[in-house]
Amino acid sequence: MILDKFSLKGKVAIVTGSNTGLGQGICKAYVEAGAKVVGVSRRPSDETAAICGKNFYNVIADLSSCDVIPKVIDETLKKFGKIDILVNNAGIIKRQDSIEFSEEDWDSVLNVNLKTVFFLTQAVAQQFLKQNSGGKIINIASMLSYQGGIRVPSYTASKSAIKGVTMTLANEWAKYGINVNGIAPGYMATNNTQNLRQDEERSADILARIPAGRWGTPEDLQGAAVFLASEASNYVNGFTLAVDGGWLGR
Ligand code: NAP
């Protein structure tokens, strides 16, 4: 039956950035859909654990370095025995005029949003091959995978790159039954956009351009996240799906 194809029953998912915002919403959706979830966060994901219950396990890891990748894989396998789904959600943004943007703000964003994402994805895909299981990779992209943005050059670089790498990996790994796709959230009300929402002028400009007439919420992303993690999307490869209240169509 078609709705059964959306079920994540028996699946094991890793979701990075699980303590808050979109990552927390994805953890909740996956547990509701039947999965066991390993949330990776640099601070404890206590609130997410309370929401998700016994099918959630928290691994503490700072994803600004690739050194933590073996720990993430090992702890997931120790706890739940396999990996079926990876959601690369953790990400940071630095806002500054490009004319004086610092090397530090360039490197820190590229490390978390791109380098660690690539090498964690590689490690998980190696595990999928070991398991002979196929699997699902979902990269959280952005409107700035499609557009330039303002005062966020390293973020735009990382999110444009992640959309491209999503296609590269899909091209190489579709033959193994590994689906690599992206989700490009629009303007969502989370910590990531707190400064933007506090800037009255920018906030009003953004809101006026969103056809849906409101900022998105973590709940808005849940349907796409479950779809791309489930059997229902087995023939979707290398695509970055916008969940943006119509922003890109404007
Ligand atoms: P958020 O509330 O700031 O969440 C970002 C998450 O990433 C947090 O859990 C954060 O942990 C984690 N993180 C950051 N650096 C990390 C590190 N070094 N190691 C481990 N975890 C780290 O914002 P969000 O909106 O939910 O963002 C989730 C994803 O969506 C990001 O990739 C973001 O770029 C993307 N996105 C957001 C929007 C939006 O409008 N909100 C739009 C497009 C794309 P801490 O809480 O410890 O910082």
Confidence of residue 160 (pLDDT cuts 50, 70, 90): very high
- pLDDT at position 65: 98
In this prediction, residue 145 has a pLDDT band, given cuts at 50, 70 and 90, of: very high
CA of 188, closest atom in ligand 1:
40
CA of 132 to the centre of ligand 1 (A): 31
214: burial class by Cβ within 10 Å (0-12, 13-18, 19+)?
exposed
Question: How far away, in angstroms, is 233 Cα from ligand 1 center?
Answer: 25
- pLDDT tens profile 5-43: 999 999 999 999 999 999 999 999 999 999 999 999 999
In the predicted model, what is the mean pLDDT of residues 206-235? 97
- CB-facing half-sphere around the CA of 55: CA atoms within 13 A: 18
CB 92 near ligand 1, within 6 Å: yes
Query: Measured from the CB, is residue 151 less than 6 Å from ligand 1?
Result: no
- 180 in contact with ligand 1, CB cutoff 6 A: no
Mutate to test the pocket of ligand 1, among 14, 16, 19, 22 (most ligand atoms within 8 A of CB): 22
Q: What pLDDT sits at residue 196?
A: 87
CB contact at 8 A, 49 and 56 = yes
pLDDT interval class at 68 (50, 70, 90): very high
Residue 127 is predicted with a pLDDT of: 98
Ligand 1 pocket: which of 37, 138, 183, 191 to mutate (most atoms <8 Å of CB)? 191
pLDDT tens readout for residues 173-217: 999 999 999 999 999 999 989 988 999 998 999 999 999 999 999
Which of 46, 59, 92, 214, when mutated, tests ligand 1's pocket best, judged by the most ligand atoms within 8 Å of its CB?
Answer: 92
- The amino acid that residue 45 corresponds to is S
Q: Is residue 155 annotated as part of the catalytic site, yes or no?
A: yes
Cα of 126 vs centre of ligand 1, distance in Å, is 25
Average pLDDT along the chain: 97
Mean pLDDT of 84-98: 98
Q: What is the pLDDT of residue 106?
A: 98
Given the residues 30, 57, 146, 155, select the one marked as catalytic.
Answer: 155
